[in-house]
Amino acid sequence: MNIYDISKQAGVSIATVSRVLNGSPNVKPATRKKVMDIIDRSGYVPNAFARGLGLDTMNSIGIICADSSDLYLAKAVYYIENDLRKNGYNCILICSGYEHKGKEDALSRLLNQRVDAVIMAGSTYVEAEPKDNRYIMNAASQTPVFLLNADLDCPNVYCTVCDDFKAARSATCALLNSGITDILYLYNSRSYSGMKKLSGYQAAYHMHKIPLNADMMQFFDGSHENIDGVCRFLCGLKEQGLVFHAVLASDDMLAVGAVKYGKMNHIAIPEELSVIGYNNSLLTVCSDPEITSVDNKLEAMCSQLVRTCIGVLNSESMPPKVVYQGELIHKGTTRLTDQQSKSDQHKGGHF
Amino acid sequence: MNIYDISKQAGVSIATVSRVLNGSPNVKPATRKKVMDIIDRSGYVPNAFARGLGLDTMNSIGIICADSSDLYLAKAVYYIENDLRKNGYNCILICSGYEHKGKEDALSRLLNQRVDAVIMAGSTYVEAEPKDNRYIMNAASQTPVFLLNADLDCPNVYCTVCDDFKAARSATCALLNSGITDILYLYNSRSYSGMKKLSGYQAAYHMHKIPLNADMMQFFDGSHENIDGVCRFLCGLKEQGLVFHAVLASDDMLAVGAVKYGKMNHIAIPEELSVIGYNNSLLTVCSDPEITSVDNKLEAMCSQLVRTCIGVLNSESMPPKVVYQGELIHKGTTRLTDQQSKSDQHKGGHF
DNA sequence: TTGTACGCGTTATCAT
DNA sequence: ATGATAACGCGTACAA
């Protein structure tokens, strides 16, 4: 079944069928009805490939993320797919993994597919070495690129980020204000955003004029699901004599590990150990007590990212960078008041 | 840049360029090299739409799931995408939601895109009413359909499932054998697989000649993330006077709620309350104690599903149905021995 | 309001 | 081993 078959059966030319199909106003109602009847009866659907060839688009957008089963990225993909679909776009999903090669492959795959845009979700896509971001810039010269939680200043690249520096600083300040000065910063990623969080932690100490201790910034080098490993890692630190009364984690999963560590060692939470996670994910409510966490407004960010994307595809002028503000959500692993953390957000504007 | 530009620069016809591109053996090595040099230098890539039009495929496969941010489905999508990519296919992801309309829309969208195959992940896609599965059968007449965790006997539909009936029965038997006869079955889905699990629970009681109590099979009607709601739901049951010393949940998230319920009411786990979850997801290790859960071999199932899919696309003969066996993974919320549960798997073969 | 004819960039068939 | 040319099915400029 193609447009010729329909045109023959309806006794009109393919141009008229095409016009009916695409809702052109220049069709006599009677003709339109006649054609529509044939189309409905036959169940004809235009061939998407032919359409794509002529229009140079199949209305599809690529989404790259490192691991779509990661709690945070899974949410991001879900929000983005929903919004794009509402705007008439299909999503081609590629999980790139965390290695550079995988990222480049994913991007080139999508460009070969001639997607209308590429969305890269996750801070892992912008790296410290400028040359490692070259491949994104090259892609952007062909197709608009939209980054979620990563920042890259380049034409045709649009960033939607959460200010992780401020959020981490606020969280740290909240702990410092409550009188805890031995805060262990626990992280598992050295990505752009990972480094921003670390800087935020450090900035809070500077603000409070408390010297930093390198041992209190610990990198956990393990799988994103190895909660038990995090727990053992902290036990190891304790055995080495490291003393800390709070853990600020760059990810909720690390925070869950910290809570487990506390329980295993009979350390009361939050009385003797405060814990703050990051992402305010489902994990925070699985834990007992529930984990205080930084909410980084993922849904709002995704919604904004798609809005920007659609705008760009419609040749509207769009901001190359939109910054959201994280918010500390107090739950059961801290004994902080909202007042304290809020006052800190207003300080430190000099950073 | 198109194939004509390359052919001109190389001083050959487009046919030769095409042959070089597609690795035809009928090209003189010297010519091949000459053409390849031009291609490499210019960075030319064949137009995917034109290619699609000619070959009637763009090597893309649709994945439909209700909610790609659901822990279980997210894993499924991840495994499937990875395997398909290794086989040279791209994935178009659509989240259909749990309503019928969304599912139909998703499917028709993919068919319009002329995907090579459709994968529907999740038990929600096969419903009790045969007419509600009509849309899948129709799709199957155009494109092969692969179901994960759902069973539909229809030409061109291939099913990869886990025997949830047996798994639920084994889990229930394990509890019964340990002397607990008041087991609350908690579920949140009336899908095909949801009903299978429920039947498994009931079958175990039959096997042990213990009468069923309708109050002990409770449906939780809430969001997939409302752990607090589950907890309150159980508290409500307790207040109504319902007595149970074990909870068998159709989903880990429900089991997490049960553990929380136990803690809130100072019920010792597993001493006074055993809890078994389903899916053996990350949630089971977030909880304290870690939750005993039914592992349904998701990764193996996905791998098999993709293998079947690739086989079908290559016109190989493939089995329309592959059944996996779940396995009870003992963790901290039960006091069962492997022996007990294993012996039950061998009984009841008459079901 | 409608129809004709061409272009989109491949792949494949058939000559040579 | 290579080239000319016909599909593939649609959108659309232009003509009528």
Predicted confidence (pLDDT) at residue B345 exceeds the cutoff of 70: no
Which band of pLDDT confidence, cut at 50, 70 and 90, is reported for residue B129? confident
Q: Mean pLDDT lowest for which of A140-149, A188-197, B165-174?
A: A188-197
Joined together, the tokens standing for residue A47 give 């061939």
Which of A88, A86, A143 has its CA nearest to residue A110? A143
- Give dist(CA A59, CA A117) in Å, integer: 9
Which band of pLDDT confidence, cut at 50, 70 and 90, is reported for residue B127? confident
Kindly provide the b/e burial profile for residues A332-351, where b requires at least 16 CB atoms within 10 angstroms of the residue's own CB.
Answer: bbbebeeeebeebbeebeee
Residue percentage of chain B with pLDDT more than 70: 95
Q: Which residues contact B249 (CB under 8 A, 6 or more apart)?
A: B186, B187, B255, B257, B258, B275, B276, B277, B278
Which band of pLDDT confidence, cut at 50, 70 and 90, is reported for residue A193? confident
From the number of C-beta atoms within 10 Å of its C-beta (0-12, 13-18, 19+), residue A294 rates as: buried
Q: Chain B contacts of A263, Cβ < 8 Å?
A: 288
Domain architecture of chain B: domains with CATH: 3-42 (1.10.260.40), 60-162+298-324 (3.40.50.2300), 164-291+331-348 (3.40.50.2300)
Predicted confidence (pLDDT) at residue B306 exceeds the cutoff of 50: yes
Per-residue pLDDT reduced to its tens digit, A197-246: 999 999 999 999 999 999 999 999 999 899 999 999 999 999 999 999 99
Q: Give the mean model confidence (pLDDT) for residues A99-107.
A: 97
- The packing angle between helices B71-86 and B298-313, to 10°, is 40
Per-residue pLDDT reduced to its tens digit, A313-350: 999 999 999 999 999 999 999 996 544 444 444 443 33
Q: Which residue has the tokens 């994968």?
A: B119
Name the β-bridge partners of B183. Answer: B246
Whose C1' is closest to the CA of B28: which nucleotide? D1
The mean pLDDT value of chain A amounts to 94
Predicted confidence (pLDDT) at residue A8 exceeds the cutoff of 90: yes
Q: Find and list the nucleotides of strand C having atoms within 7 Å of a protein beta carbon.
A: 1-5, 7-13
Residue A5's pLDDT is 94
Residue A336's pLDDT is 64
A46 phi, psi to nearest 5 deg: -55, 145
Q: Which residue has the tokens 């809430």?
A: B222
Q: Chain A contacts of B287, Cβ < 8 Å?
A: 286-288
- Give dist(CA B280, CA B171) in Å, integer: 13
Which band of pLDDT confidence, cut at 50, 70 and 90, is reported for residue B136? very high
Residue B193's pLDDT is 87
Q: Which of B79, B81, B225 sits opposite A282 (nearest CB)?
A: B225
Which band of pLDDT confidence, cut at 50, 70 and 90, is reported for residue B341? very low
Choice between B128 and A340, residue whose per-residue pLDDT is larger: B128
- Give dist(CA A172, CA A342) in Å, integer: 12
Residue percentage of chain A with pLDDT more than 70: 95
Residue B342's pLDDT is 44
Reduce the DSSP state of residue A147 to 3 states and report it: strand
- Give dist(CA A182, CA A165) in Å, integer: 19
Residue B336's pLDDT is 64
Per-residue pLDDT reduced to its tens digit, A31-50: 999 999 999 999 999 999 99
Predicted confidence (pLDDT) at residue B338 exceeds the cutoff of 80: no
Per-residue pLDDT reduced to its tens digit, A287-307: 999 999 999 999 999 999 999
Residue B226's pLDDT is 94
| CA A337 vs CA A174, A177, A206, B139: distances in Å | 8, 10, 22, 56
Q: Give the mean model confidence (pLDDT) for residues B318-337.
A: 93
A88 CB inside 7 Å of strand C = no
B12 CB inside 7 Å of strand C = no
Mutate to test the interface with A, among B44, B98, B224, B286 (most CBs of A within 10 A): B286
Specify the amino acid at residue B153. Answer: D
Question: Which of chain B's residues 25-84 bind strand C, using a 7 Å CB cutoff?
Answer: 44, 46-47, 50-51, 53-55
Which residue's C-alpha is at the least distance from the C1' of C13? B15
Residue B346's pLDDT is 43
